[in-house]
């Protein structure tokens, strides 16, 4: 355990962590929810803390069976290896039997909290049904399994609205609800138990501390994020039990995370920080995506703008990649939840501000789909379009809230025939996302199986297509044989790069008409042609080598400013006339595009 503290206050561990932390040997951890967060988190705790036993419980039997098999239910780089190592080490198991929950000292709740689809707050608020069910199950199972009543720590890891822990506390400790008598704490087994001085009851009951520790891992990099987290956030009550519960969880993480990366806060700050963190990340993407439209209109290049802006250390380079839109099960859900919270507290202006982040995202998806239709001569009815990528990002098979599905929806409304290839997302998840987020199913869209065809071969996907549309940034798409794809396409053949990952210059040379987010490739090509023409003129003017300094000449006379006797007005005038002639007569090769950020 790291006990050497830095004197720099920004890297000093929270004051709660200064005293020696509780011992965690033989701790029993149960994680509820075997999804994208629960299972990888369990695996990392198990591998890093060999003396701790970790059990993952899920009510879905088939999901548990899949985790127990050799074919895991999710794709996450490095996870299958990690799970194999844990199973070999012997301290990680997956179970569908809820009685395992009663054995736990520490219960980590990782259930889904999707956006409510009906009732009060529908479309914005989080559906907390799974959270409450988990709490009721914990309470019931711990009470019914017998044994001496004791104290347990429940960790809220699911992303939840601020104050959810209050509900959990009441469900888990019903006698603490307003109007009820306080519980007896006589069954507590550790010194971390809350003080019983205010207790008047002598009946022994199980008690629970509730703390919050939201997860910040991203899909596709989950294992690396868990192994070296940017921070671990733990929020708890400022009571003896609250503080000791925070310290117990901190002790677990401290087995592999430096103490200065463990931040402790009060419960509500911890819950809220998760929503705000996701909102800030999504807001950066919507900001750069809004700028991408201006880039396309003006001839600026969104990658260049992002690099210029992100190089400022105060802004930073991350999450400034313009795209067809952010997706995933978290960003939209969490921002809408935040918006709902603002409104619940009558804070309408900030609610509008954050809501616009989601609106810009939807606008970007629609803008991209509309540009496809308009460039394909305003009709795509019956045309085969190849869509490359359906997962919401690379390195995952997860299609939830994927921008690709939103684009597919728009194109299907126009009666296009979509052929879709994704290296990891499977057809079942694609159809599920089309139905869940866009109400596209066999019943709403007769003939869907002919209009939306999932391909397993990328070249077959593109064969006879009018356009190839890149919607997920899978690195393999950069390495495709684009000349082969072009040869098989209907002409004129189009590429729409919704992720800015392809070599646009190369594609243009092959013969594609190329369109990319945040770039006006026609303006770019004209500018390159112009630059090439300028140097051709300079070469002609001086057969022994150009006397003009590179980049010192601008058509129109005002630019550049290379200075010196070579750049006087007469030279510019004759140069401009010559450039105009060269632009008329010279075929120029496009140079390579600028490096991407």
Please, what sign has the CA dihedral across residues 231, 236, 239, 242?
negative
Cβ-in-10-Å burial (0-12, 13-18, 19+) of 558 comes to exposed
Nearer to ligand UGA, 226 or 493 (CB): 226
Catalytic position from the list 142, 330, 461, 462:
330
What does the alpha-carbon distance between residue 198 and residue 240 come to, in Å, rounded to a whole number?
Answer: 13
Q: Minimum CB separation from ligand UGA for residue 284, in Å?
A: 7
Q: Minimum CB separation from ligand UGA for residue 496, in Å?
A: 16
Catalytic position from the list 274, 321, 332, 384:
274
Q: Minimum CB separation from ligand UGA for residue 394, in Å?
A: 7
Catalytic position from the list 98, 156, 215, 433:
215
Nearer to ligand UGA, 54 or 394 (CB): 394
Q: Minimum CB separation from ligand UGA for residue 596, in Å?
A: 12
Cβ atoms of residues 387 and 322 within 8 Å: no
Cβ atoms of residues 153 and 189 within 8 Å: no
Q: Minimum CB separation from ligand UGA for residue 54, in Å?
A: 20
Nearer to ligand UGA, 265 or 445 (CB): 265
What does the alpha-carbon distance between residue 347 and residue 339 come to, in Å, rounded to a whole number?
Answer: 9
Q: Minimum CB separation from ligand UGA for residue 582, in Å?
A: 40
Q: Minimum CB separation from ligand UGA for residue 322, in Å?
A: 7
Nearer to ligand UGA, 334 or 414 (CB): 334
Task: Give catalytic status of residue 355 as yes or no.
Answer: no
Quote helix, strand, coil % in the chain, to nearest 5.
45, 10, 45
What does the alpha-carbon distance between residue 151 and residue 188 come to, in Å, rounded to a whole number?
Answer: 5
Cβ atoms of residues 357 and 282 within 8 Å: yes
Q: Is 489 helix (H, G, I), strand (E, B) or coil?
A: coil
Cβ atoms of residues 330 and 393 within 8 Å: no
Task: Give catalytic status of residue 49 as yes or no.
Answer: no
Q: Which residues bind ligand UGA (CB under 6 A)?
A: 159, 215-219, 278, 281, 285, 319-321, 323, 326-328, 330-331, 392-393
Nearer to ligand UGA, 244 or 401 (CB): 401
Nearer to ligand UGA, 28 or 261 (CB): 261
Helical (H) or strand (E) element with 293: helix 267-298
Nearer to ligand UGA, 233 or 376 (CB): 233
Q: How far is CA 209 from CA 45, 94, 132, in A?
A: 20, 24, 15
> In which region does residue 382 sit, left (phi positive, over 0), alpha (psi from -120 to 50) or beta (all else)?
left
Cβ atoms of residues 246 and 236 within 8 Å: yes
Tokens at residue 562, please? 């290379």
Q: Which residues pair with 29 in a beta bridge?
A: 54, 106
The closest alpha carbon to 233, from 221, 218, 247, 215, belongs to 215
Q: Minimum CB separation from ligand UGA for residue 36, in Å?
A: 7
Nearer to ligand UGA, 501 or 582 (CB): 501
What does the alpha-carbon distance between residue 271 and residue 389 come to, in Å, rounded to a whole number?
Answer: 33
Nearer to ligand UGA, 360 or 385 (CB): 360
Task: Give catalytic status of residue 215 as yes or no.
Answer: yes
Cβ atoms of residues 392 and 402 within 8 Å: yes
Q: Where are the beta strands (DSSP E) in 344-501?
A: 384-388, 417-421, 452-455, 467-470, 494-497
Q: Which residues pair with 30 in a beta bridge?
A: 55, 107
Q: Minimum CB separation from ligand UGA for residue 555, in Å?
A: 35
Q: Minimum CB separation from ligand UGA for residue 587, in Å?
A: 37
Q: How far is CA 91 from CA 28, 43, 63, 79, in A?
A: 10, 9, 19, 16
Tokens at residue 4, please? 């050497």
Q: Minimum CB separation from ligand UGA for residue 33, in Å?
A: 12
Nearer to ligand UGA, 215 or 271 (CB): 215
Instruction: For residue 4, give every residue at least 6 positions away whose Cβ sits within 8 Å of its Cβ, in sequence order, or none.
Output: none
Tokens at residue 500, please? 């800015």
Instruction: For residue 313, give every residue at least 6 positions away whose Cβ sits within 8 Å of its Cβ, in sequence order, or none.
Output: none
Peptide bond between residue 492 and the one before it cis (omega within 30 degrees of 0) = yes
Angle between helices 38-48 and 79-89 (to 10 degrees): 50
Q: To which residue do tokens 């869509």 refer? A: 387
What does the alpha-carbon distance between residue 186 and residue 196 come to, in Å, rounded to a whole number?
Answer: 8
Nearer to ligand UGA, 215 or 414 (CB): 215
Q: Is 327 helix (H, G, I), strand (E, B) or coil?
A: coil
What does the alpha-carbon distance between residue 536 and residue 547 come to, in Å, rounded to a whole number?
Answer: 13
The closest alpha carbon to 41, from 50, 51, 30, belongs to 30
Which sequence positions are flagged as catalytic? 215, 274, 330
């Amino acid at each position: 355990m790291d006990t050497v503290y830095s004197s720099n206050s920004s890297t000093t561990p929270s004051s709660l962590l200064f005293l020696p932390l509780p011992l965690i040997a033989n701790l029993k951890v149960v994680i509820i929810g075997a999804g994208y967060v629960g299972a990888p988190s369990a695996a990392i705790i198990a591998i890093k803390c060999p003396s701790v036993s970790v059990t993952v419980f899920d009510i879905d039997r088939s999901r548990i069976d899949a985790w127990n098999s050799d074919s895991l239910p999710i794709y996450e780089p490095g996870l299958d290896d990690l799970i194999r190592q844990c199973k070999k080490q012997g301290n990680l198991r997956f179970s569908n039997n809820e009685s395992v929950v009663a054995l736990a000292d520490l219960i980590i709740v990782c259930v889904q909290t999707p956006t409510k689809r009906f009732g009060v707050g529908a479309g914005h608020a989080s559906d907390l049904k799974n959270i409450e069910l988990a709490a009721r199950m914990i309470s019931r199972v711990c009470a019914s399994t017998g044994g001496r009543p004791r104290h347990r720590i429940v960790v809220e890891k699911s992303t939840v609205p601020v104050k959810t822990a209050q509900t959990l506390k009441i469900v888990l400790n019903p006698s603490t609800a307003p109007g009820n008598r306080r519980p007896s704490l006589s069954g507590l087994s550790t010194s971390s138990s809350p003080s019983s001085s205010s207790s008047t009851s002598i009946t022994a009951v199980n008690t629970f501390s509730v703390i919050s520790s939201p997860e910040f891992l991203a899909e596709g990099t989950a294992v690396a994020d868990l192994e070296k987290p940017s921070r671990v956030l733990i929020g708890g009550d400022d009571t003896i039990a609250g503080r000791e519960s925070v310290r117990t969880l901190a002790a677990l993480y401290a087995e592999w995370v430096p103490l200065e990366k463990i931040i402790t806060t009060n419960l509500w700050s911890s819950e809220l920080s998760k929503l705000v963190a996701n909102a800030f990340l999504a807001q950066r993407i919507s900001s750069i995506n809004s700028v991408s439209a201006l880039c396309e209109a003006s001839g600026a290049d969104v990658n260049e703008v992002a690099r210029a802006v992100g190089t400022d250390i105060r802004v930073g380079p991350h999450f400034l990649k313009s795209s067809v839109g952010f997706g995933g099960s978290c960003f939209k859900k969490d921002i809408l939840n935040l918006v709902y919270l603002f409104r619940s507290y009558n804070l309408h202006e900030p609610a509008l501000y954050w809501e616009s982040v989601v609106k810009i995202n939807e606008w970007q998806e629609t803008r991209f789909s509309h540009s496809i239709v308009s460039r394909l001569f305003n009709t795509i009815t019956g045309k085969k379009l190849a869509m490359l990528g359906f997962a919401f990002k690379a390195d995952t098979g997860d299609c939830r809230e994927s921008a690709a599905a939103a684009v597919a929806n728009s194109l299907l409304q126009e009666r296009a025939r979509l052929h879709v290839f994704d290296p990891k997302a499977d057809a079942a998840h694609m159809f599920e996302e089309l139905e869940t987020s866009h109400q596209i199913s066999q019943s709403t869209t007769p003939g869907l199986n002919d209009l939306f065809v999932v391909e397993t071969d990328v070249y077959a996907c593109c064969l006879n297509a009018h356009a190839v549309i890149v919607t997920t940034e899978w690195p393999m798409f950069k390495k495709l044989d684009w000349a082969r794809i072009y040869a098989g396409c209907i002409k004129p053949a189009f590429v729409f790069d919704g992720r800015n990952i392809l070599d646009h210059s190369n594609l243009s040379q092959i013969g594609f008409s190329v369109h990319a987010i945040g770039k006006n490739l026609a303006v770019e090509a004209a500018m390159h042609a112009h630059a090439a023409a300028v140097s051709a003129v300079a070469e002609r003017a001086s057969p022994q080598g150009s006397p003009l300094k590179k980049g010192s000449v601008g058509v129109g006379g005002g630019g550049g400013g290379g200075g010196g006797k070579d750049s006087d007005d007469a030279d510019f005038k004759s140069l401009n006339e010559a450039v105009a002639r060269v632009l008329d007569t010279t075929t120029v090769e496009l140079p390579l595009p600028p490096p991407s950020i």
